[in-house]
Amino acid sequence: KKYRDLPYVNAMISQLVYDFGKTNANIRMEKFYKIAAEYEFMDEICHTLFNIKQKYYDLLRISSMVLITKKNLELAEEIKNIVKDEPDKTNSLYNLNNAKVMLIEKEKEFVNAKYDLSNAMYLDNKIDYKINYTPTFIINEDITSNLKDTQQLALPFDAIKAIDIAYENSPDLKVIINTKNAMQEALKYAKKSYLPSIALNAGYGYNRTYDTKNSNILLNADISTDINVKEIKHSIELANAQLNIAENEITLFKKNLYFEVQRALNNVEKTSKELQYSKDALKISDKTYNLVKDYYKTNVTDYTELQQAREDYTNSYIKYINSMYEYNLALIQTETALHLQIVDIQH
């Protein structure tokens, strides 16, 4: 009596052999999308760094404003102490109070600017730190007319080379180019949807009874296709349209980047000249104030001219500080356009 079943084995394997490049096109498309995502991440890092630089120079600007408003307060007190008669004494006290208010405002702006820098660096507001002047932004702490030399850089490239650098370094451009490459693969995939897929099937069977045993091998290939002509035609048209859009985006982006670089370089040149002019004007206003002050003491000039000379000196210094800030901002904008470090503030 047969009291159990004997072994029976059957195994089948089906393997896609060739699909006329559809799988490869799909893989390459995903690869290009991944590369584009990596460049997008790099672009975010670059913008974070440039944002920190801008906030750093803004804090330098405000801290310098605090120094000049302190100097303005000293000058207002100096004038109050040398005025002789009314109503000049009352007026000098009024100007002194205005100078105190201006100082309070600038000190508040300094605190806010430091918050902005801390936020840009993702620091807790409780973390304290000091900032240092850079080669392109430096003033005397005692606010004297003997100005320290602010470095004005000679850019290590001309306008033509700058465009090449921008095209080579721009993560945004690389994102668009890789998106276009992905669209090309998508178009290839859509066109190859008309083609079938070839699969290879292999099998092995084994059967045994008490009286007999047998085995068999199965090997065959089949071609399969599932074609919706109308749907595939629509997919090809859509892929073509997306590819054209991507190519147009590259052309448009290069054009915009070209003008962005040109504007940045023009601003560097413009602000560099303005910085030198404001420095010269500050030296003149400082000499003028000291002369008018001496003349006032000898009754050659009046109180109104003395106060005007003080205001001119203060405004000239504010203009000089703002010019330094605008010059450095222009350098940062150039760095942003080229994705290239020009001024090293990390060290």
Per-residue pLDDT tens over the stretch 12-33? 433 433 344 444 544 455 555 5
Chain segment 285-326, per-residue pLDDT in tens? 999 999 999 998 888 889 899 999 999 999 999 999 999 999
Alpha helices in the chain (DSSP H): 22-82, 88-120, 159-169, 171-191, 229-297, 303-338
How far is residue 170's CA from residue 173's CA, in Å, rounded to a whole number? 5
pLDDT, one tens digit per residue, over 230-281 is 555 656 666 666 667 777 777 888 888 899 999 999 999 999 999 999 999 9
Q: What is the predicted pLDDT for the residue at 308?
A: 93
**Best CA proximity match to 133, nearest among 78, 197, 64, 202:** 64
- Whether the pLDDT of residue 221 is over 50: the answer is no
Torsion of CA 333, 335, 336, 341, to 10 degrees: -150
* Cα–Cα distance measured from residue 314 to residue 286, given in angstroms and rounded to the nearest whole number: 9
Q: Residue 83 pLDDT > 60, yes or no?
A: yes
> What is the predicted pLDDT for the residue at 299?
87
Determine the pLDDT at residue 168.
87
Range of lowest pLDDT (83-92, 105-114, 145-154, 253-262): 145-154
Task: Quote the pLDDT of residue 144.
Answer: 62
Separation of alpha carbons 68 and 181, rounded Å: 56
Where is pLDDT greater, at 322 or 5?
322
Using a cut of 0.75, tell me whether the model's pTM lies above it: no
Tell me what pLDDT residue 197 has: 47
For residues 193 and 25, is the Cβ–Cβ distance under 8 A? no
Give the C-alpha separation, 70 to 125, whole Å: 26
User: What's residue 31's pLDDT?
Assistant: 58
Q: Per-residue confidence at 44, pLDDT binned at 50, 70, 90?
A: confident
pLDDT at position 47 = 76
Spell 92-103 as b/e; 16+ CB within 10 A means b. Answer: beebbeebeebb
Q: How confident is the model at residue 155 (pLDDT cuts 50, 70, 90)?
A: confident
pLDDT over 80 at 330, yes or no: yes
Query: What was the pLDDT predicted at 88?
Result: 85
Residue-wise pLDDT for 188-212, tens only, equals 665 555 444 444 444 444 444 445 4
* Percent with pLDDT over 90 in the chain: 33
Amino acid at 206: Y
Which amino acid belongs to residue 1?
Answer: K
